[in-house]
Amino acid sequence: MSHAQLALEPDVDGVDFWRLERIVAITKTMSHLVADLLFLARHQGSLSPEQLQTLDLRELLQELAWDQDSSAGAKQIDLTCELPSQPVWVQVDPDLLHQALLNLVNNVLKYTHCGGQVRLQLESRSSWALVQIIDNGSGIPATALPHLFEQFYRVPTTSAIEGFGLGLAIAEQIAKAHGGKITVTSMVVQGTCFELSLPTS
């Protein structure tokens, strides 16, 4: 336990307690930032065959939807998952791909208004698996779309929402490492669609 956390005891007066809480919160925030930067540095380039496993992408998406149900529920967001009846096989690093999808879903949930809708859907087209994450939120200005996957980029209208602007950069890097890509389409007021494309096995 850190000195700051040890100091968060009931006998500390109100002002000092608030200051120490802020120290702990800032320390955690900086720790997340450092972890994200290390992640970006360590996972550059393509993945080796030894890192890849064959899995049914439906299972990963369904588990992700279940895991994020409580986060969506906290904002009264209707989170649905639409999956095909047949398996969609991909060769991936499961942990890395989970991180990419989690970053995309977290980003969408963060910027979707309370009472909104988010839909995860999967389809297989030719030799590609397409994961779409669609919301009916406020949308993203056209001028911001080319910069979304840049490190530390934040859409100016969302500066009040907590974040470093690294989640989408990490997701894109993971997609590229798997020979895939992420695209985004959006219309202000109508909503946004992130699409992760991966080669099928």
pLDDT of residue 37: 62
Longest alpha-carbon distance in the chain: 65
Q: What is the pTM of this model?
A: 0.80
Statement to judge: residues 28 and 99 lie in one domain: no
The enclosing domain of 66 has a CATH number of 3.30.565.10
Q: Which domain holds residue 14?
A: 3-39
> Do residue 139 and residue 102 come from a single domain?
yes
What sign for the dihedral angle of Cα 94, 201, 183, 146?
A: positive
Q: Is residue 44 part of a domain?
A: no
* Residue 110 neighbours by CB under 8 Å, 6+ apart: 161, 163
> For residue 193, is it within any domain?
yes
Pair (112, 79) in one structural domain: yes
Cα 173 from Cα 168, distance rounded (Å) = 9
Do 8 and 63 share a structural domain? no
Answer yes or no: do 53 and 35 share one domain. Answer: no
Is position 10 within any domain? yes
- Does 132 fall in a domain? yes
* Same domain as 152, residue 104: yes
Q: Are residues 91 and 127 in the same domain?
A: yes
Do 90 and 17 share a structural domain?
A: no
| Count of domains for the chain | 2
Are 10 and 83 contained in the same domain? Answer: no
pLDDT in tens, the chain (201 residues): 454 444 445 555 565 666 777 676 667 656 665 665 666 667 677 778 888 999 999 999 999 999 999 999 999 999 999 999 999 999 998 888 998 999 999 999 988 999 999 999 999 999 999 999 999 988 999 999 999 999 888 888 765 577 678 889 889 988 998 999 999 999 988 899 999 999 998
Residues 82 and 12 in one domain: no
